[in-house]
């Protein structure tokens, strides 16, 4: 496919992804209050447990409206994840063979539950992180947390976990199209484990090692699962090449 057609296809897929995001954001607009209550719950629980005054602070006249728009877009990203993940794979599939297209659709089927699984793990980590951070507020002090800053913190945490869980699927996809061999993944497994634990340490600011291990372990298992799939695929490709050198 010529470069111009690639760029046109990319523009088309980005436009369709944006349309899906807008539809999801509209749905998020109508469920804003329950979602905001869920986002505030860790703060209120930490305040109750530690007998401190902790609350969201809206610093400007337009902050409440800005928050509603951002929370709606945040939910739109989550709700429309099957759609924009499909657009990602649809952009790749025109250059694939029929067999590889089948793999691509299988990857899409794996990406959605993995992305949602990452979001669920982040949602489990969030109250622990908020409780630990709130514990640094001195006795007798009041913590009025900037609403937009808190929302940005939650969004980064949730999306980082979601994308971390999808990354092994991307590695397998690169292997299937011949851009990445399993030997490279096997050589880099120590770095992958180190990065997984660094990610867990940064994203879970809790003092106990158990929480960090519980977060890093699924990411490591997904990496080694991806490595196993790549090994099987490369061996199958090598056998075909040996059987048919032409």
User: Distance between CA 126 and CA 39 in Å, rounded?
Assistant: 9
Please count the residues of the chain. Answer: 246
Domain ranges of the chain: 3-243
Q: What is the pLDDT of residue 191?
A: 92
* β partners of residue 3: none
Q: Give me the residue label for tokens 């400007």.
A: 60
pLDDT tens per residue, range 93-141 = 666 666 666 766 777 788 888 888 888 888 888 888 888 878 888 887 8
Containing 142, the helix (H) or strand (E) segment is strand 142-146
pLDDT tens per residue, range 17-27 = 889 899 999 98
| Predicted confidence pLDDT, tens digits, the chain (246 residues) | 566 776 787 888 889 888 989 999 998 898 888 888 888 888 888 888 888 888 888 888 888 888 888 888 888 888 888 888 778 777 766 666 666 667 667 777 888 888 888 888 888 888 888 888 788 888 878 888 888 888 888 888 888 888 888 888 888 877 876 778 889 889 999 999 999 898 888 877 666 677 788 888 888 999 999 899 889 888 888 888 887 765
Within a 13 Å sphere around the CA of 148, how many CA atoms are in the beta-carbon half? 12
Neighbours of 235 (CB within 10 A): 11
């Amino acid at each position: 496919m010529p470069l111009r057609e690639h760029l046109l296809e990319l523009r088309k897929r980005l436009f369709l992804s944006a349309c899906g995001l807008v539809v999801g954001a509209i749905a998020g607009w109508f469920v804003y209050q329950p979602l905001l209550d869920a986002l505030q719950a860790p703060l209120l629980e930490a305040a109750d447990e530690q007998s401190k005054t902790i609350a969201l602070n809206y610093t400007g006249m337009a902050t409440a409206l800005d928050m509603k728009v951002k929370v709606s877009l945040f939910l739109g990203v989550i709700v429309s994840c099957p759609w924009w993940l499909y657009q990602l794979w649809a952009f790749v599939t025109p250059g694939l063979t029929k067999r590889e297209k089948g793999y691509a659709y299988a990857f899409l089927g794996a990406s959605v539950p993995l992305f949602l699984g990452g979001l669920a793990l982040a949602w489990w980590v969030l109250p622990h992180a908020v409780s630990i951070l709130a514990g640094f507020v001195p006795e007798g002090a009041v913590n009025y947390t900037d609403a937009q800053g808190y929302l940005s913190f939650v969004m980064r945490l949730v999306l980082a976990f979601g994308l971390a869980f999808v990354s092994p699927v991307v590695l397998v996809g690169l292997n299937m199209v011949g851009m990445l061999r399993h030997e490279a993944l096997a050589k880099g497994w120590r770095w992958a484990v180190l990065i997984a634990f660094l990610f867990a340490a940064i994203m879970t600011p809790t003092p106990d090692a158990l929480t960090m291990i519980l977060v890093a372990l699924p990411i490591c298992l997904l990496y080694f699962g991806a490595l196993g799939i790549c090994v099987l695929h490369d061996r199958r490709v090598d056998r075909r090449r040996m059987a048919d050198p032409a």
